[in-house]
Chains A and B, each alone.
Chain A
Amino acid sequence: MTETMKNTDDFLPLKAAVHMILVALAEAPRHGYDIVKFVREESGGRIKLATGPLYRHMHRLLEQGLVEERESSVADDDARRIYYGPTLLGLTVLAAENARLAQLVARVSQLGLPRVTGE
């Protein structure tokens, strides 16, 4: 696998939308609009992702080898819907980004900054 030869750090940090796309695909293979819905719902509408931009990102992710096309998991689904899933590299990058964010949050909490209350 050539993907593993790439340095995962090269892809970091991920854009919020891209991060969420990878999360969506890591959970289950999804098709286009499914991803949009997932991202909108799971981010509580904070990450705005429209279909066009999604495919812009998908184009890059496909090119970078982070995601790949998958066989449809639903038997009688429309053939025009293409399902996507993460590659091994995609999962590695997602893990690295999660770790980076976790580390960042941990560092920031050490600084003793005021917390946002009421949430």
Chain B
Amino acid sequence: MNTGGFLNREDVNRRLARLVANSYPSNIRERVSCPMQQAFLDEVADLGLGGPSWLFFWLDALKDGLFTRVANGFNGGLGGQKKAPQPGRPKQGPFGGLVADLLFAIRGFRKQPLFSVVVVATFALGISINTAVFSLVDGVLLRPLAYEEPEELVMIWDRFEWLGGERTWVHDLQVRDLRANTTRFEEFAAMGMVSGRILGGDRPVHTDVARVSVNFFDMLGVQPVLGRSFREGEDVWRSPWVVMLSHDYWTREFGQDPNVIGRKLVVGYPEMEVVGVLPEDFDYRMYEAVGQRTGADLWIPHMIDYGWWETPIPGAGVAVLARLKDGVSLEEARTELAQLARQHDEKFFENSGFRFEIVALYDDIVNGVKSALFVLIGAVVLVLLIATANITTLLLARTQKRTGELAVRSSLGASRLRLARLLLTENLTLATVGGGLGILLAMVGVDTLVALAPPELPRTDNIQVDGRVLGFSILVTLVAGALSALAPIWLAGRHGPAGSLLDSGRSRMTNVRSQRIRDGLVVAEFALSTILLAGAGLMVRSFVSLTSVDTGFESESRLTFSVYLMDDYEGVEPRYGFFTELQDRIEALPGVLNVGSTSALPLSATGYGPVFGSRQDFSINQNGVYPGQGIEPPPGIVTTDDWTVAAFNTALPGYVDASGINLKWGREFRDSDDLNNVSVVMIDEQLASDFFSGRNPVGDGIWVLDEWRTVVGVVGTAQHVAYGSPARPQVYFPYGQVESGRVSVVVTTSGDPLALMPAIREQVAGINPLVPVADVRTMKSIVDESLAGRKFIMMLMTAFAVCAIVLAAIGIFGVLSFLVSQRRREIAVRIAVGAGAGSVARLVVLRGVGLAVFGSGIGLALSLGLSRGVESMLYDVTPRDPVSFALAFVSVLVVGVLATWTPARRAVSVDPATILREE
């Protein structure tokens, strides 16, 4: 025998025996591999086989092994059998060969760059938006508040039935009563904002000054970095003023000078002594409480004299922060407050239906944005699912092309687990690259996101891609990577290797099954995309109806700024004099068309109070009882039913004209509407129709702010609260008769509004160089800002929906392309026997459209159920808005059809001669 150059018979038999033994599932192999091999050798030797019978002997043996493996299914490889060390093979730990797998994976990707790029890009997209949105949610919702035992902190508010149950400030007298008559609270702190003026720079600067009870910082557990906190007694009226500086202000104005303690500061009050500097990370903002969105620079004690009031005034007061005693639940505290509220109702508010509201500080801060953030996280999870499904379809196609390779691996002894690990390693490698890219993208994206975030989004300083977020992203990456590899692994394990080796890589069963999985995944992708599109549609439609609402005022070419008159101007007359002169001076500037002023611009909060009907005509009837304290009802009115709550606003002559508010009846205020003349008001249409049934009320009177005032004009209703909130009727008082602290000036300009500002500042300084000007902006930006929150959500939802539909399109494209390449022969035969291009294209297109329609239908059904979750975020659109749903359906369909285009063309261009010859 030729023993030199070629393998001898015995050697070949030994190798074949090993191959056959290895073709059995691992559990069998472990036990009997060695004796089995020997038995084969014995048999071959005994039978003395040669030629074809020898070949068939081994083929039969191999077939049994492979069939056993198939019959054993996946359980054989992954079942919980104890592993005995295998004789003749080096023992491999669970990570043995991992590096080899990894290297092999990388080599494989380089051979298929398009596949790898698409998978990596898909992962990157999914992970980046998930990381970005998660960092948003984490910073705003998940992180605990940075205060000592934040779960014990609560906010307390007043609620009056006659105010429609809207929450409002707690009066200082009530705070005193809370301190004295409760047992379940550790302590209470009052908070408010006042205006300050900082002098000494180029020009006077307005600043928000926070006024807080002296125990405020101790209560939050905040230690000053320099100096001390407030002391007991520093909030007693007429004690010397002290002030604490924010870290930012200390840095900005004093260059972190440690000798700042003891310095005197003039901020529009008597001199204040600097006693402390707050830490850098202290960032208490009274979000909803006072609408303050930037941290205050200066903090002063809430100095009051309880003797100022006889009884609490509804709606006037402070925000109240309280700390619960150890172990007291919110519910117990609520019960105690309910009892106290009944006493207050009786004692102070004439049983008008007063309640306290108590809410955890955390909820108070985040409640307004919670649902929107949940919707966003839901949306990105859907996009991630679509991305995962997409990757799965790509992997399935790739795995199927590799069945030959996998079968060889398997026959050479790779266990099912080992093959699973190979596929998993490959996919996790791609996922890791994509995830890493996604995280990098997210780091950039988060800053953009925060910059775009609406001002009402709290705690934005916490939003960052840090260790927590990174951990989350890595987890998501791994889960998505593993999830998307699941179906390919299952399929490879179930049918792949065994059949394929015998079947030269084309197992019909595998084909059908994997096709079915891919179809299912595409249907799921379309369903999820439809949900996102429908959601985005609802947001867009809401936004459109919001922006098409008639706001009742003009915002184009209008400049506005606020002027804060401090103690230099006491009383109505000097203030009125100041603003009259300012308006005259501004009107004289070139480029100015109109000028007017108000205490509350449209879309900003106003004060409010009760208004009683005219003498002739008590047509209104509000449920509830007016508390009758603080503001007196008109004399002679016995019934207390004939009143309503209106928003209070003041205006100077020219305001209606300058802000483009429609004057319906009568006239606007004029210079002579001052204290020397009869008290007048303007009312808006809403109040006119409430009180006067829509007839012209000019000349009639309403009782408001303790006297009868004559209606001189009726104006169109201007949106004065945030969009989507119920608007109250409005009353305008002439500034010459009713003063207000802050005044906002509106200037209609012929050119660029902001270009006028230097000239205007000059005019203000010309009257009084100590008066600060602040809040310089265009009316347009005020409108934009009020829409910013909804716009933010709408834009993100739209972006996510677009991502989703693009992914779904790639998915259907991939599946159909694969289908066409798999069925090339069939198509070739069809064409060869005379099928027209139309019928071949129809084959492909109909399949794509069918999947799209099916998926979209499921998506619509799901959307109907889910859309109720976004109801609170909609404006003038029902959650089952047929237009949004129809648009979603049609878009998905259109995308589905477009995605079938290329595969269909490829199918049509199949050349039967070439293909059939190939085979």
Contact = CB atoms under 8 A, between A and B. Distances in A.
B38 A80 contact: yes
B39 A33 contact: yes
A32 B27 contact: no
5 contacts: A32-B38, A52-B36, A81-B35, A81-B38, A81-B42
Contacts of B39: 31-33, 36, 51, 54-55
Interface residues of B, number: 21
B826 interface: no
Contacts of B31: 58-59, 62-63
Contact of A78 (B20, B38, B43, B61): B38
A52 B38 contact: no
A82 B43 contact: no
Interface in A36-72: 36-37, 50-56, 58-59, 62-63
B28 A82 contact: no
A55 B35 contact: yes
Contacts of B43: 33, 36, 51
Contacts of B20: 52
Interface in B278-294: none
Contacts of B37: 80
A80 B14 CA distance: 13
B32 A52 contact: no
Sort A-B residue pairs by CB-CB distance and give the 5 closest, nearest first.
A32-B39, A33-B42, A52-B64, A82-B35, A55-B36
Contacts of B27: 59
Nearest to A60: B28
Contacts of A52: 20, 24, 36, 40, 60-61, 64-65, 68
B775 interface: no
Contacts of A36: 39, 43
Q: Is the interface of A mostly helix, strand, loop or mixed?
A: helix
Interface string A71-87: 00000001011100000
B38 A50 contact: no
B64 A53 contact: yes
B570 interface: no
A56 B35 contact: no
A74 B28 CA distance: 26
Contacts of A62: 31-32
Contact of B35 (A53, A63, A80): A80
Contacts of B24: 52, 55-56
A54 B46 CA distance: 17
Indicate the size class of the contact surface on chain A.
Answer: 20 to 34
Interface in B20-66: 20, 24, 27-28, 31-32, 34-40, 42-43, 46, 60-61, 64-65
Contacts of B60: 50, 52
B61 A51 contact: yes
Nearest to A53: B64
B64 A50 contact: yes
B143 to A, nearest CB: 55
B61 A56 contact: no
Nearest to B65: A52
Interface string B325-353: 00000000000000000000000000000
B42 A55 contact: no
A55 B61 contact: no
A33 B46 contact: yes
Nearest to A32: B39
Contact of B36 (A32, A37, A63): A32
Contacts of A33: 38-39, 42-43, 46
B35 A50 contact: no
B262 to A, nearest CB: 88
B35 A31 contact: yes
B65 A32 contact: no
Given A31-B39, A32-B35, A56 B68 contact: yes
Nearest to A84: B35
B38 A55 contact: no
A83 to B, nearest CB: 9
A82 B40 contact: no
A36 B45 CA distance: 14
B38 to A, nearest CB: 4
B46 A51 contact: no
Given A37-B46, A80-B34, 18 more contacts: A31-B35, A31-B42, A32-B35, A32-B39, A33-B39, A33-B42, A33-B46, A50-B60, A52-B60, A52-B65, A55-B24, A55-B36, A59-B27, A63-B31, A81-B38, A82-B34, A82-B35, A82-B38
Nearest to B38: A80
A59 B61 CA distance: 16
A58 B28 CA distance: 9
Q: Which of B24, B34, B36 has the most CB of A within 10 A?
A: B36
A47 B489 CA distance: 38
Interface in A3-47: 31-33, 36-37
Nearest to A62: B31
A37 B42 CA distance: 11
Contacts of A58: 31-32
Nearest to B60: A50
A54 B68 CA distance: 12
A32 B36 CA distance: 7
Interface in A97-114: none
B914 to A, nearest CB: 43
A15 B37 CA distance: 24
B47 to A, nearest CB: 10
Nearest to B40: A51
A31 B711 CA distance: 116
B28 A56 contact: yes
Contacts of A56: 24, 28, 64, 68
Nearest to B42: A33
A7 to B, nearest CB: 23
Contacts of B40: 51-52
A81 B43 CA distance: 12
A55 B32 contact: yes
Given A33-B46, A36-B43, A59-B27, A51 B36 contact: yes
A59 to B, nearest CB: 5
A110 B65 CA distance: 43
A112 to B, nearest CB: 41
Contacts of B35: 31-32, 55, 80-82
A76 to B, nearest CB: 15
A58 B439 CA distance: 54
Nearest to B72: A56
A53 B36 CA distance: 10
Nearest to B36: A55
A56 B32 CA distance: 9
A53 B27 CA distance: 14
Instruction: Name the residue in A36, A52, A56, A78 with the highest tally of chain B Cβ atoms < 10 Å from its Cβ.
Output: A52
A37 B135 CA distance: 71
A32 to B, nearest CB: 3
Contacts of B38: 31-33, 78, 80-82
Contacts of A53: 64
B415 to A, nearest CB: 16
Nearest to B62: A52
A98 B60 CA distance: 31
Contacts of B28: 55-56, 59
Contacts of B34: 80, 82
